[in-house]
Structure 1
Amino acid sequence: MAALEAAKPGGSRFVGGCVRNQLRGAKVDDIDIATQLEPGATKAALEAAGIRAIPTGIEHGTITAIHDGRPFEITSLRRDVETDGRRAVVAFTQDWAEDAERRDFRLNAIYASPDGQLHEVVPGSIADAIKGRVIFIGDADQRLREDYLRILRFFRFNAWYGAGMDADGLAACERQKEGLTRIAAERIWKELKRLMEAPGPSEALLAMDETGILDIVLPGATASETPSLVAVEQGARLEPDPLQRLMAMTPRRVRDVRQMTTHLRLSNAEADRLTAWADPALAHVLGADAQALRQMFYRHGPEAVEDRALIEAAQLSQGEAFQAVRRAAAGWTRPEFPIGGDDALAAGLKGPEIGACLRSLEADWVASDFTLTRGELLARLSSRTG
């Protein structure tokens, strides 16, 4: 901030989440700065002070400064010249009010000078931040038509900070919901993940479900089991996991899961985890005895078994049973199958019969609760080739 102030005294202020969270007594993660300097001048001021400057969003006036290993996003004051529901063409300005009026919610439009002085450019914004009111700036429908992703941001901010959903804002989101079909899947999933990382997202997700917004971004999903899932999570002291919450809203059918992963363009790791959870070969987990659990851990992996157990626990309100599965998974170490291809070759097997025989013997070993020894397995191998 000192570098920016040296270039234009009084021309830069903190804005957005860092100011909002400071007012709420919440943790401050990202630091955003608004400045009257245009991007070229911002970059020059930073570099003159020996600070690395990266033009991460230069067309929208954003420079990322790296100071002591920490990023700071610095954006020139701007106004929207043209919008298409996804991206905006902007023009730079010196007017703080113009910059504020193009933002989404009042609680995100609070500015703070380097000395801590607050600037309430939009009336009511400070009270909104303190009381947890998520209210659009100006005409809600217009704000949404500028960028339809703001529909999901409305629900995300309510999930994290809201103390009761603004009825006018909710109605506007419902009216404009079809605009979400114009938003790239990657942006949709990024916003949904941040929403589902909230400690208590149930009210927001249920409202999305009731208004038909959820079905647009997650076709076939339902939020009805989210409250019971959150209750099980809290009982087990789990950190919120967006993928597990997605599982709770998605039909457990491989076809539906594959459609979901394609629709949202999930990463390979995310898609693999959802597919493992939906695997029809993975039987009901809750109520399984210790031996059955060990077999599930071996065949499907403890993560998939825990995921399945959590969703079952939410459906059946059996938090204690889920915690028993967690304890079993924590104490489990994957055993190593004692024989392999070299043993099969030594026994005289060839080609496809090697894999078939080893799979059969591995099934015997798993059924024995992993107690069959190498010697016993070799004897069985020999008897099958003799």
Structure 2
Amino acid sequence: MTTKRPDSHLPDAPWRHGPGMDSLFDALGARDGTARFVGGAVRDTLLGLPVQDVDVATTLTPQAVLDCLKTAGIKAVPTGIDHGTVTAIVAGAPVEITTLRRDVSTDGRRATVAYTDDWREDAARRDFTINALYADPLTGEIFDYFGGLADLSARRIRFIGSADARIAEDHLRIMRYFRFLARYGTGEQDEVAYRACIAGANSLMALSRERIADELMKLLAVTDPAPVLRLMIEGNILRAVLPEIDAAGVERVANLVTREASAAAPPSALRRLCALMPQDAALADNIATRLKLSNKARKRIAAALAPPTTAASPPASPQALAYRIGKEAAVDRCLLDPSADLSLIATLADWQRPTLGVGGGALIARGLPAGPDVATALRAVEDQWVEEGFPGPRRVSVIADQITSKFQRARQ
């Protein structure tokens, strides 16, 4: 039975009246009760948060949705047609429209579904009560089948029905539970949900590491993931898939969150992952490879965790470090090092990587014979230029003269 309360209406919000939205719901026959907003857009609007994506649930079959959109002249893309999802392009933005479904069978990774016209049945297959809130697009009336409004008010993350059953249907819900707890909860876990996640933690091994990485990165992107990460470590949630992550890593993340706030540096999920992983570049790269992170992400991790004694980490100014490993990696290194002066980060805010302004040809023109010495001498010029704080062309010319003379004398 639907829970309805006098105040259970969706607050007005600009996204509800965006260009083309009225035409979309006219096309779907919303006045006849065939379509409702669902999930994140409803939840976040009730919390006063910005809405990123708009999802719509409908009693219409996927083919009927395609036909209705075509008739209305709205572009439709069958993005997930096998699972009942059609994406409408409304004023250049995607709106996912999914037919009401019920699970026929699940194996923890994917589900076989059948279509239904029962809203409660559709809600019952969702993960958390706060994600099973629907809203009439015309009146804003909210339909709450499992106490989601009360849980949202209490900032409580609770599985719909049996937590064990929901996790058995989709093992990734373990990771989602902790992400939602960090994003929307108070940090106080629902004991039933927490125990179910602990009991099912080994089932994460059945999931692709890409899916685990995606959820982990979303968790690390919240304002302060440390309290929830502690719960995960205490419950051995990640042991089966990421055994290298431990309590020490969580404390590094907590310290990093504090340093990011003190330096007014935007939070970075990848930087926080660097803190969470063992502080060994080779081992961290092994984990990043296992998580199927991009080459760009792996390079950033390697730069952030490179030993200070390597050529990639000159003990010079933050600008010199930024020149060698990139501004982003230099900021990472400073924030990750508890002993580093946070005020140095501000000096990089508007810094742009300068250009040396001379090449091998300039050294040859000064009399240095072509050959391997040219590249070595050019590196020496660059090193001195960086050490001196990137002086202008006149000083660069003097440095080039000095280095060229030095190499010429060595050849004599």
Give the TM-score of the pair, scaled to structure 1: 0.90
1:354 aligns with 2:374: yes
Residue type of the alignment partner of 1:220: E
Residue type of the alignment partner of 1:359: R
Q: How many residues align?
A: 374
Q: 233, 255, 264: which one pairs with 2:291?
A: 264
Task: State the shift of 1:337 in Å.
Answer: 2.4
Residue of structure 2 equivalent to 1:253: 280
Matched residue of 2:32: which SS?
Answer: coil
Residue type of the alignment partner of 2:349: A
**Equivalent pair of 2:28/2:69 in contact (CA under 8 Å):** no
- Structure 1 253/203 Cα, relative in aligned 2: closer, same or farther at 3 Å? same
- Structure 1 354/13 Cα, relative in aligned 2: closer, same or farther at 3 Å? same
Residue type of the alignment partner of 1:26: L
| Distance in 2 separating the partners of 1:167 and 1:200 | 21
- The CA RMSD measured in Å over matched residues stands at 2.2
- Structure 1 332/20 Cα, relative in aligned 2: closer, same or farther at 3 Å? closer
Residue of structure 1 equivalent to 2:150: 127
Task: State the shift of 1:281 in Å.
Answer: 4.2
Residue of structure 2 equivalent to 1:334: 353
**Equivalent pair of 1:338/1:374 in contact (CA under 8 Å):** no
Q: Which moved further from structure 2: 339-348 or 9-18? A: 339-348
Task: State the shift of 1:331 in Å.
Answer: 5.0
Matched residue of 2:337: which SS?
Answer: helix
| Distance in 1 separating the partners of 2:386 and 2:250 | 38
Q: 244, 247, 250: which one pairs with 1:223?
A: 250
| Distance in 1 separating the partners of 2:108 and 2:214 | 17
| Distance in 2 separating the partners of 1:307 and 1:216 | 28
| Distance in 2 separating the partners of 1:376 and 1:133 | 64
| Distance in 1 separating the partners of 2:262 and 2:84 | 45
Task: State the shift of 1:103 in Å.
Answer: 0.7
Q: Deviations over 1:300-342 (max 9, x none)?
A: 22221210111123xx5x7xx21x1112212544333243211
Q: Which moved further from structure 2: 248-257 or 135-144? A: 248-257
**Equivalent pair of 2:28/2:68 in contact (CA under 8 Å):** no
Task: State the shift of 1:194 in Å.
Answer: 1.5
1:310 aligns with 2:315: no
| Distance in 2 separating the partners of 1:370 and 1:24 | 50
**Equivalent pair of 2:368/2:374 in contact (CA under 8 Å):** no
Q: 62, 68, 74: which one pairs with 2:97?
A: 74
1:208 aligns with 2:232: yes
Task: State the shift of 1:8 in Å.
Answer: 8.0
Residue of structure 1 equivalent to 2:207: 183
Residue type of the alignment partner of 2:359: G
Task: State the shift of 1:71 in Å.
Answer: 1.3
Task: State the shift of 1:366 in Å.
Answer: 3.1
- Structure 1 12/33 Cα, relative in aligned 2: closer, same or farther at 3 Å? same
Unaligned runs of 5+ in 1: none
Residue of structure 2 equivalent to 1:325: 344
Task: State the shift of 1:69 in Å.
Answer: 1.5
Task: State the shift of 1:363 in Å.
Answer: 2.6
Q: Deviations over 1:262-281 (max 9, x none)?
A: 01111122111111111224
Q: 145, 150, 154: which one pairs with 2:177?
A: 154
**Equivalent pair of 1:23/1:130 in contact (CA under 8 Å):** no
Q: 112, 119, 128: which one pairs with 1:105?
A: 128
Residue of structure 2 equivalent to 1:14: 37
| Distance in 1 separating the partners of 2:325 and 2:258 | 26
Give the TM-score of the pair, scaled to structure 2: 0.85
Residue type of the alignment partner of 2:38: V
Task: State the shift of 1:282 in Å.
Answer: 6.4
Q: 275, 285, 289: which one pairs with 2:302?
A: 275
| Distance in 2 separating the partners of 1:282 and 1:293 | 16
- Structure 1 383/248 Cα, relative in aligned 2: closer, same or farther at 3 Å? closer
Q: How does 1:130-141 map onto structure 2 within 5 Å?
A: 130-141=153-164
**Equivalent pair of 2:88/2:96 in contact (CA under 8 Å):** yes
Task: State the shift of 1:41 in Å.
Answer: 0.4
Unaligned runs of 5+ in 2: 1-23
**Equivalent pair of 2:384/2:399 in contact (CA under 8 Å):** no
Q: Deviations over 1:207-257 (max 9, x none)?
A: 112112234444412312222222222223333210111111112222112
- Structure 1 294/6 Cα, relative in aligned 2: closer, same or farther at 3 Å? closer
Task: State the shift of 1:70 in Å.
Answer: 1.8
Residue type of the alignment partner of 2:233: D
1:34 aligns with 2:57: yes
1:343 aligns with 2:362: yes
